[in-house]
Amino acid sequence: MSLKRAALLLLLGGAVIPAIAQQIELPVGNAPAADRTPPADGAARPSIDESALRYFASQGDTRRLEAEIARLRALYPDWSPPADLFGPQSDPDLERMWKLYAEGKLSDVRSAIAARQASDPSWQPPAELLARLDESENRRRLINASDAQQWSTVLRMATETPGLLTCSNVDILWRVGEAFAKTNQMQRSLDAYTYLLTNCNDAAERLATIQKALPLLDDEQVKQLLALERKDAQGQPEFTSIRDELIRRRVGRAAENPEFVASSDDIARLETLARAGNTPGDPLLLGWYLFRHDEASRALDWFKLALDRQGGAKAAEGYVLALNSLGRALEGEPIAFQWRDAAPENGKAYLDVVISLLTAAPPPVLSETVLTRFSPVVMRDKYVPGAQALGWYAYNTGQLVVAQAWFQTALSWDPNDEPSSYGLALTYWRLNDAARLNALVQSWRGRSERIVALVDANLRAQLEARNLQGQINRTTNPLVAAALRVTPPPANAGAPGTGLAYTAGQPPTGFQPVPTQQFQPVPAQLAPAQTAQAAPVRRAYAQPATYRQPAPAAANRPRSASGDTARGSGGGAAALSRGWRLMELNRPIEAVTAFDEAIRTGSGRIAEEAAYGKSLAYMRKGMTNQAQVAAIEAPQSPRRAMQLTADLLAQRAYEFYKDQRYVEAIISLDERARISPEQQDLMMMRGWSYFNIRDYQSAERIFRALAAQGNTDAMNGVSEIEFARRLYKRE
Amino acid sequence: MRRALLARLGASLIAFATLLALGAGGATPLKAQTMANTVPIEAWNAYMQHFVAENGRVVDTANGDISHSEGQGYGMLLAFLAGDRSNFERIWSFTRTELMIRDDGLAAWRWDPNATPHVTDVNAASDGDILIAYALARAGISWSNPAYTDAARKIARALGAKLVVKSGDRLVLLPGVQGFSVEDRKDGPILNLSYWIFEAFPLFVQLAPETDWARLGVSGLELLSIARLGPAQLPPDWIAAPARGPVTVADGFPPVFGYNSLRIFLYLLRAGIEDSQILESFRRSWLAENGGVPAIVDIPTGRVVNQLTEPGYRMLGALLACALDRTAIPQDLRRFEPTLYYPSTLFLLSWAVLVEKYPRCL
């Protein structure tokens, strides 16, 4: 029998007792340990213990008998098995102990030895029996310690009983390998697995060895282990399946941490596996990897597949997040809602999706369902960002009373939520509620610049200057972004009661984001008095050059509704084309009626077209508030919704300007500028608006910029400013 | 105040110090205590039959048949007191293999036959470790078994290193490694005065001299004299004993003088400490107010929650009456009949101390 030197045990010893420097003979195969050195001279040699041999013989256990004979021969080359091996045992008591040992009743053996020693103090148990007992007890203790994650004990047991560390005890070797890894002795851990793969031959155990090592070792170390791969009986590499596992691991890690990138080979292989399989695991893994590496569109397909394969909550979460990130939150919302209670992440995904819908710019058209099922969740969880988002949605769709209610609700849960307070302050400002605005501003003095800026002209100017320098922090938090999009009103808005009469805040009749039946957070008495119709500020100096009404591009856009109407239902489609005809005849009020009918009787694209038409009709009449309400009566495609909103805002800015309500004109232009670039005519309107509120600095900046491009109106503006300044100096 | 306390403590401290001095042999080897078996072999055999499985597991029959380090320690101590080397080895084999698995050399405290893995809480419980080490130490001496002494030394050292800690002026015994210290609990340390097994400390002085076991014992006696709480003036099972501030019932534990604390006086008598003030509280509650029977007492109200009439508990009352009043043990308690693990254990430990120290009552 050949004994093989193994460095593992040296390392083992060194790990716990560095003083141990000798190597230990380690047997291969199934032979038990042989750490007892044969004595050099025969005279000192103890009598050879044959009791185990006789016990195995008496039991007819030939496998163990042969192993024991081999072991004794290795230890004592001169020894040969006794002739009377199968004769009666000379010591029935000892035979009983071996029997108990063979049955695994270790405590009974210990007890029997102690009992015999108590009655016969001169009796010594066979050393071999004690060694076997120690080994078996330490084996159990090692397993118990490993199960209890007591790694030092595991290593101590292994060191005390190196005979355990053989291929017949691969489980022990695995546990030792794990204990090394868990105590940060990675090289020794690698040594343990290397030893196993070098010496042990069982195919299933070899494969399991790699699987055990995978979660503990790094890629480089696993690569070293894979180098020990052998060919199976069919000549196939034995670790093929592991290589796929490794790919999953690499991609998985890169999915967790976007700083890691998986190779295209890995992704390609995983895609093949994902398509070939029928489980959700691989598609899910791909989904997360691609999603976290900014490929939401590809990720979406894999999440979809995972979801179809019963991938459960994680698949739903990924699917929803991918849709959200693709700007398709509206599609994601129903799935998000369905899975919202499956796991905390799903609840979060649902909230994220709805919040991103609510805070989108321009505000999208949301169905009653989306809102009615969101607000109870917000109320139940007293979810401040949710209430705040509902506030912004209401604000951005001109429903100021509702916005006020939601912002107040958010603040009732968290009085220190600055964005909600900001929203509420803006709402008060637009509602012309100077008393409440001032009270709110007082409570935020020293805590929020932008809230204070609503009534503080100087601070307002500073903030604006900063904004112009592009110092607004870009952020991915949709709530913060929503709040940032709402620019504070210009400097002289500080006294809302004197100069502002903003009527856009009337809640629209057709649509309420606050579900009135299940939940009514707006107490009736909160409805603000909208009657203060203060006169616009009059300037003493002449109104500068005439301002040509900007023609919203969409209003003049030729219709191409034929393809859409063809698919529509009869009544709706007919009403829709009637509406467009009336528009061509410039009879917008009648067109509104026709479009209304189309909205009522048509569906899908018909209703969308009709809503669009209706808002154009109102715009034609200069009824921008009605136009905005009309625009959201049916879902619009994102691109059209954007265009429509931009047109509406431009129209509204013009209405304000015409009424000499310059501050509000600027606000409308600000809102519009966030979704669409500002053309020269609108910039001119902005410039004159600033001029009229005596913000010459802002006006001059704009005029000079336009004048530099050869705009003659702008050059007039510059000279007007110079004139006005001289005028004021004289004053 | 403090001086008065120490004055009252004085007598028992002197007794305890004497005890330690007797045990402490400096550098001299442990002396074998020649002593007849104090637990009758028939009683021990009956105990074995009821509460010790073949594999050496001591079964807590009132507690879902789980095992714990305390039970293994009691089993080993009783086997030693019965002079049963064979079964001592049986119980120790199980204890070592199944519980002595912690990296720090202490025993895992809880073992459940119906769980996999069986160790369901790997935390240590210091009374279990003290009992195991103490039983090993005594067996090592009496039976001249250096392996036992060696194992006892390792556990005693681990105890000293991990569970005996300074708390202000006191040296205290933490009940476990996790969850009781001043770092783990705002009101810490949380202590259990029935974990002070005083009789073990003189031996530990020799095994693990780096720890001041004498001072640990003195702190235990001091805390016992302070922790007489509520109208009944009894020590709660679990106390919060911050270094500065009064001793109170520990939050989150039942506010009772209960199954833990009722063994305190047994440990005192076994250690030869007869004049602690605490014995008076026991006397009043058990002998004056409850007809000689131990009772679970609600600390805040002083009301009796439960009278304990099983023989093992009545035996505690009888032992107290014997020690304080020389009352003879009633006839019906002169026979051991196993009931449940815990009272049966207390019965045999009481019997052993009667045989050893109060033969006049038998």
Q: How far apart are CA A616 and CA A627, in angstroms?
A: 7
Judged against a pLDDT cut of 70, whether residue B357 lies above it is answered with yes
Nearest C-alpha neighbor of A425 from the set A413, A434, A416:
A434
DSSP summary character for residue B180 = -
Judge contact between A648 and A484, C-beta under 8 A. Answer: no
User: Is 80 exceeded by the pLDDT of residue B172?
Assistant: yes
Most confidently modeled range among A519-523, A667-671, B219-223, B272-276: B219-223
A27 near A37, Cβ under 8 Å?
Answer: no
pLDDT(A728) > 80: no
Going by pLDDT thresholds of 50, 70 and 90, the confidence category of residue A480 is low
* Contact partners, residue A30, CB within 8 Å, separation at least 6: A67, A166, A167, A168
Query: Using 50, 70 and 90 to split pLDDT, how confident is the model at A50?
Result: confident
- Record: contact A150-B101, CB cut-off 8 A: yes
Q: Which residue has the higher pLDDT, A580 or A491?
A: A580
What percent of chain A stands above pLDDT 90? 23
Could you say which DSSP state residue A586 is in? Answer: T
pLDDT of residue A467: 56
Which residues, in sequence order, are CB contacts of B281 under 8 Å at separation 6+? Answer: B228, B232, B233, B234, B235
Place of tokens 């204070």: A452
Residue range B92-105: average pLDDT?
A: 97
Parse chain B into domains and list their residue ranges. 2-255
Q: Is A117 on the interface with B (CB under 8 A)?
A: yes
CATH architecture assignment, domain B2-255: Alpha/alpha barrel (1.50)
Average pLDDT in chain A? 75
pLDDT score recorded for residue A502? 29
Structure tokens at A473: 């922090």
- A150/B103 CB distance under 8 A: yes
pLDDT band of A462, cuts 50, 70, 90 = confident
- pLDDT in the model for residue A316: 92
- Is the CB of B58 inside 8 Å of chain A's CB atoms? no
If one compares A40 and B353, the residue with the highest pLDDT of the two is: B353
CA atoms lying within 13 Å on the CB side of residue A536:
17
Residue B317 pLDDT > 60, yes or no? yes
- The whole-model pTM stands at 0.61
Stretch among A30-34, A506-510, A701-705, B320-324 having the lowest mean pLDDT: A506-510
The larger pLDDT score, comparing residue A706 to residue A483, is at A706
CA dist., res. A309 & res. B182, Å (int): 52
Q: Which residues of B touch A145 (CB under 8 A)?
A: 101-103
CA distance B97 to chain A (A): 5
pLDDT digits (tens, 9 = 90+) for A149-198: 999 999 999 999 998 999 989 999 999 999 999 999 999 999 999 999 99
Q: Is A112 on the interface with B (CB under 8 A)?
A: yes
The answer to whether A306 touches A287, Cβ cutoff 8 Å, is yes
Convert the pLDDT of each residue in A526-564 to its tens digit: 233 333 333 333 222 323 333 333 333 333 333 333 333
Choice between A458 and A494, residue whose per-residue pLDDT is larger:
A458
Closest residue to A106, CB basis, from B88, B93, B108: B93
CA–CA distance, B204 with B210 (Å, rounded to integer): 10
Return d(Cα B9, Cα B222) in angstroms, integer.
7
> Per the CB < 8 Å rule, is A115 touching B85?
yes
Please name which of B226, B220, B219, B303 lies closest in space to residue B257, comparing C-alpha atoms: B303
Say if the Cβ atoms of A141 and B96 lie within 8 Å. Answer: yes
Region A229-251: mean pLDDT is 86
For B43-56, the pLDDT digits (tens) are 999 999 999 999 99
Q: Would you state the pLDDT for residue A370?
A: 85
Q: What is the pLDDT of residue A89?
A: 61
Tell me whether B92 touches chain A (CB under 8 Å).
yes
Q: What is the pLDDT of residues A401-436, one digit of tens each?
A: 888 888 999 999 999 888 899 899 988 988 888 889
Instruction: Give the pLDDT confidence of B133-145 residue by residue, as tens digits.
Output: 999 999 999 999 9
User: A101 contacts in B (CB within 8 Å)?
Assistant: none
Q: What is the DSSP letter of B293?
A: -
Interchain contact, A113 vs B89, CB within 8 Å: yes
How far, in Å, CA of A588 to CA of A139, rounded?
Answer: 91
Return the number of CB contacts < 8 Å for A and B. Answer: 76
Look at residue A44 and tell me whether its pLDDT is greater than 90: no
**Confidence grade of residue B13 (pLDDT, cut at 50, 70, 90):** low
- Predicted confidence at residue A10, as pLDDT, reads 38
CB A111 within 8 Å of CB A141: no
Helix (H) / strand (E) element for A300: namely helix A296-308
Out of A118, A137, A148, closest to residue B108 by CB: A148
CA distance linking residue B143 with residue A340, whole number of Å: 68
Please list every residue in chain B whose beta carbon sits closer than 8 Å to the beta carbon of residue A113.
89
Residue length, chain B? 362
Whether B122 has its CB under 8 Å from any CB of chain A: the answer is: yes
> What count of Cα atoms within 13 Å lies in the side-chain half-sphere of residue B121?
13
CA dihedral of A613, A617, A618, A619, whole degrees rounded to 10: 100
Summarised one tens digit per residue, pLDDT across range A682-704 is 888 888 888 888 888 888 888 88
- B87 and A CB contact within 8 Å: yes
Q: How far apart are CA A534 and CA A536, in angstroms?
A: 6
**Tell me, what's the pLDDT at A322?**
92
Cβ–Cβ gap B85/A107 under 8 Å: no
Query: Cβ–Cβ contacts within 10 Å for residue A187, how many?
Result: 10
Asked if A543 has any chain B CB less than 8 Å from its own CB, the reply is no
Which whole number is the average pLDDT over B171-184?
A: 94
Between A281-292 and A240-256, two packed helices, what is the crossing angle to 10 degrees? 40
Chain A contact present for B96, CB below 8 A: yes
Out of A111, A141, A148, name the one closest to residue B122 (CB). A148
For residue A87, the model assigns a pLDDT of: 60
A chain contacts of residue B120, beta-carbon cutoff 8 Å: none
Give the nearest partner residue to B94 out of A107, A118, A150, using CB atoms: A107
Which has the minimum average pLDDT: A124-128, A481-485, A618-622, A626-630?
Answer: A481-485
Q: What is the pLDDT of residue A478?
A: 58
Q: Give the angle B212-B217-B219 at the CA atoms, nearest 5°.
A: 95
Distance from the Cα of A150 to chain B's closest Cα (Å) equals 5
The CATH code for residues A553-676 is: 1.25.40
Q: Would the CA dihedral through A419, A424, A429, A431 be positive or negative?
A: positive
Q: Would you tell me how many other CB atoms lie within 10 Å of the CB of residue A602? A: 27
Give the model confidence (pLDDT) of B102-129 as tens digits.
999 999 999 999 999 999 999 999 999 9
Mean pLDDT in residue range A487-491: 40
Residue type, A581: R
Helix H, strand E, coil C: the string for A359-376 is: CCCCCCCCCHHHHHHHHH
**A152 in contact with B, Cβ within 8 Å:** yes
Place of tokens 């508030």: A625
Instruction: Write out the two tokens for B175.
Output: 């009940």
Sign of CA dihedral A165, A170, A172, A177: positive
Helices A312-325 & A344-358 angle (0-180, nearest 10): 20
What's the rounded Cα separation, in Å, for the pair A288 and A262?
12
The ranges assigned to domains in chain A are: 3-233, 239-358, 401-517, 553-676, 679-731
Please answer yes or no on whether A153 and B101 come within 8 Å at the CB atom.
yes
Task: Pick the closest to residue B60 from B130, B126, B110 (CA basis).
Answer: B110
- Of B159, B170, B163, B169, give the one whose Cα is nearest residue B203: B159
* Alpha-carbon distances of B90 from A134, B96, B102, rounded to whole Å: 14, 10, 20
pLDDT (0 to 100) of residue A551:
33
Question: Has B127 been annotated as catalytic?
Answer: yes
Residue B78 to residue B47: CA distance in whole angstroms = 9
User: B60, B70, B237, B298: which one is catalytic?
Assistant: B70
**Is B54 one of the annotated active-site residues of the chain?**
no
Work out the minimum CA distance from A281 to partner chain B, whole angstroms.
29
State how far the Cα of B258 lies from the Cα of B297, in Å rounded to an integer: 7
Residue A29 contacts residue A66 (beta carbons within 8 Å): no
Higher pLDDT, A503 or B218: B218
Cβ-Cβ contacts under 8 Å for B291 (sequence gap 6 or more):
none
Identify which has the larger pLDDT, A54 or B353. Answer: B353
Residues of chain A contacting residue B94, judged by C-beta atoms under 8 Å apart: 107
Which residues 70-109 of chain A have a CB within 8 Å of chain B? 105-108
Nearest chain B alpha carbon to A112: B86
Q: Which residue of B has its CA nearest to A147?
A: B117
Q: How far is B155 from chain A (nearest CA, A)?
A: 14
Q: Could you tell me the fold of the domain covering A239-358?
A: 1.25.40
B47 close contact with A: CB closer than 8 A: no
The strand pairing partners of B165, in sequence order, are: B172
Alpha helices in A148-258 (DSSP H): 151-160, 170-182, 186-199, 203-213, 219-226, 240-256
Would you say residue B247 has pLDDT above 70? yes
Q: Measure the CA–CA gap between A481 and B294, rounded to whole angstroms.
A: 71
B245-259 mean pLDDT: 93
Asked if the domains A239-358 and A553-676 are classified in one and the same CATH topology, the answer is yes
A155 touches chain B (CB under 8 A): no
pLDDT tens readout for residues B22-40: 444 333 344 444 456 899 9
Burial class of residue A75, CB neighbours in 10 A (0-12, 13-18, 19+): middle
Does residue A84 carry a pLDDT above 70?
no
Q: Does B183 touch chain A (CB under 8 A)?
A: no
A150 close contact with B: CB closer than 8 A: yes
In a mutational test of the B interface, the residue from A137, A144, A152, A160 whose CB has the highest number of chain B CBs within 10 Å is A144
Q: What is the pLDDT of residues A383-407, one digit of tens each?
A: 888 898 888 888 887 788 888 888 9
Query: Does residue A115 belong to the interface with chain B, where contact is any CB pair within 8 Å?
Result: yes
> Cβ atoms within 10 A of the Cβ of A146, count?
23
Partner residue facing A107 (CB), from B56, B103, B118: B56
B75 shares contact with chain A (CB less than 8 Å): no
User: What angle is formed at CA B299 by the lines to CA B294 and CA B303, rounded to 5 degrees?
Assistant: 60
Q: Quick one: closest CA in B to A113, which residue?
A: B86
pLDDT digits (tens, 9 = 90+) for A109-128: 999 999 999 999 999 998 88
Catalytic residue among B127, B129, B199, B237: B127
Residues of B in contact with A153 (CB under 8 A): 101-103
| Other Cβ atoms within 10 Å of B118 Cβ, number | 19
Contact A148 B102 (CB under 8 A): yes
